[in-house]
Chains A and B, each alone.
Chain A
Amino acid sequence: MKNKRIWILFSSVFLLLIWYAASVAVGKELILPDPFITVKYTFVMLHGSEAWQAIGATAARVLFSFSVNLSLALVIGSLSGFYKTIDYLLKPVIAIMRAVPTMGVILLSLIWFNSETAVVFVCTLIVFPVFYSSISEGIRNLDKKLIEMNKIFRIGVLKKTFHFILPSLSPYITSGISSGIGLAMKVVIAAEVLSQPDKGIGTMFQIEKANLNTAGVFAWSLIVILLTTFVDSIFLYLKKKHGK
């Protein structure tokens, strides 16, 4: 355990050193700002309310798309887990959703919807397959012996759902969430960059880029990394607590 931390710390410091060395070698803040400037700029930004509004707006979009996604995936994923026919019917749809280029979807949805709807639509389309597969897999992996047990004792649908199926799915849901949240964040921000909603991290990225403020772009990247890590660690914590 101790060793693990040391190695991770070592690797992080090493990356920072490379970054610093590279920025010194390049010697132009406009191309590659060094870590200190990035951190400093991050603090400056987080001091103002604009940055927090952008973070809030993006977080709200991610959360909203996320809950829509999760509910849809729970229903549709369960159906396809239980009924082979539905699984086969949806296979091509999911394959397309997985293969479609994110940028293509973003551009199309900008043509079709306003900027708010577009972001949520894109996120749903890209992240849904992740949740969907993990939930339908969870259903397929339900313990056959416990299914028989439920059948024998004539357990009602509601009781079975809440006391058998959902608890069985919970590891799949958590793993779906933890692999989906990073993806959702990236997709939402990418969509924001192009769709330019009023407030949002993507919008801020675009503004910093337009002002040729490379340190700003770096600072926002750092904020996104921190946010993702923060959310991830919440889920890790919940997972641990649930496991006990």
Chain B
Amino acid sequence: MIRFENVDKSFKKKIIFRNLNQAFEEKGVFCILGPSGCGKTTFLNLAAGLLLPDKGRIIKSSDKISYVFQEPRLLPWKNIRDNLVYASGNHLSRKEKTEKAEWLMSLLEISEAAFKKPVQVSGGMAKRASLGRALLAEHDILFMDEPFSSLDPDLKERIISRIIPWLKNSLVLLVTHDYLTAQMLSDKVLYFTQPPVEIREINRNEIKNAVNLINNKIQ
């Protein structure tokens, strides 16, 4: 569970959230759609505790969180496999962690990069490694900020369908601009307006329109 209670947040003079109330009570994948720069990442960072609200409070039912950042944020001196294992927490033995990491790498089609350093792999692979790291880490709540943005459509579809089971037992907040991602993964879809943000829940059959609206605005 995550609850935003009367949250205000602004950067310099720009008000992003004003008296925001929003609750995520049950498990499931909540997709967050909205125009660029409207505050979706800020919303995740507030929920994750990386940012503090100017006013109001944010309550989480668990501190066991995990995050797929927009950039991979891997440790440059560790290879891909060790980067996955690094963040995996203490709930598994070393051997189990490694095995699970290897299994995840094969799902994400990055096994060949297991013993390479982040600088030696492509951006897309690094991104998938950071997705693997977040899935492997012990968590009740998972934040994902455009996790599939640099993947080509076929690979994206394969990977999304493979990770669905991994998202089942968590509360997932997923920021995306992408129709396929939202369509395949979301249990509920939230639409963020331009700041000061208002959040509207939309139906799954409205996703296409919303995504088109956002992407047309970008162009």
Chain A residues near B (Cβ < 8 Å): 145-146, 148-149, 151-155, 159, 163-164, 167
Contact = CB atoms under 8 A, between A and B. Distances in A.
Nearest to A145: B73
Contacts of B86: 153, 155, 159, 163
B58 interface: no
A147 B172 CA distance: 22
A153 B67 CA distance: 8
B205 to A, nearest CB: 34
B66 A148 contact: no
A148 B75 contact: no
B50 interface: yes
Highest count of chain A CB atoms <10 Å: which of B64, B66, B69, B75: B75
B50 A153 contact: no
B187 interface: no
Contacts of A151: 49-50
A145 B50 CA distance: 10
5 contacts: A149-B69, A153-B86, A153-B137, A155-B86, A163-B78
A167 B137 contact: no
Contact of B48 (A146, A152, A159, A164): A152
B110 interface: no
Contacts of A164: 75
Given A145-B73, A163-B75, A154 B48 contact: no
Nearest to B51: A148
A170 B124 CA distance: 28
Interface residues of B, number: 19
A154 B89 contact: yes
A177 B48 CA distance: 39
Contacts of B65: 152
A152 B66 contact: yes
Contacts of A152: 48, 50, 65-67
Contact of B89 (A145, A149, A153): A153
Interface in B68-83: 69, 71, 73, 75, 77-78
Contacts of B157: none
Contacts of A148: 50, 69, 73
B20 interface: no
B75 A154 contact: no
B2 interface: no
A154 B65 CA distance: 9
Contacts of B48: 152
Contacts of A149: 67, 69, 73, 87
B63 interface: yes
Given A152-B48, A153-B86, A153-B87, 5 more contacts: A152-B67, A153-B67, A154-B64, A163-B75, A167-B77
Contacts of B89: 153-154
Nearest to A170: B77
Contacts of A153: 66-67, 86-87, 89, 133, 137
Highest count of chain B CB atoms <10 Å: which of A146, A149, A159: A149
A154 B73 contact: no
A35 B126 CA distance: 58
B40 to A, nearest CB: 17
Given A152-B50, A152-B67, A153-B66, A146 B87 contact: no
Contacts of B67: 149, 152-153
A136 B127 CA distance: 31
A146 B50 contact: no
Contact of A145 (B49, B69, B87, B133): B69
A78 B141 CA distance: 32
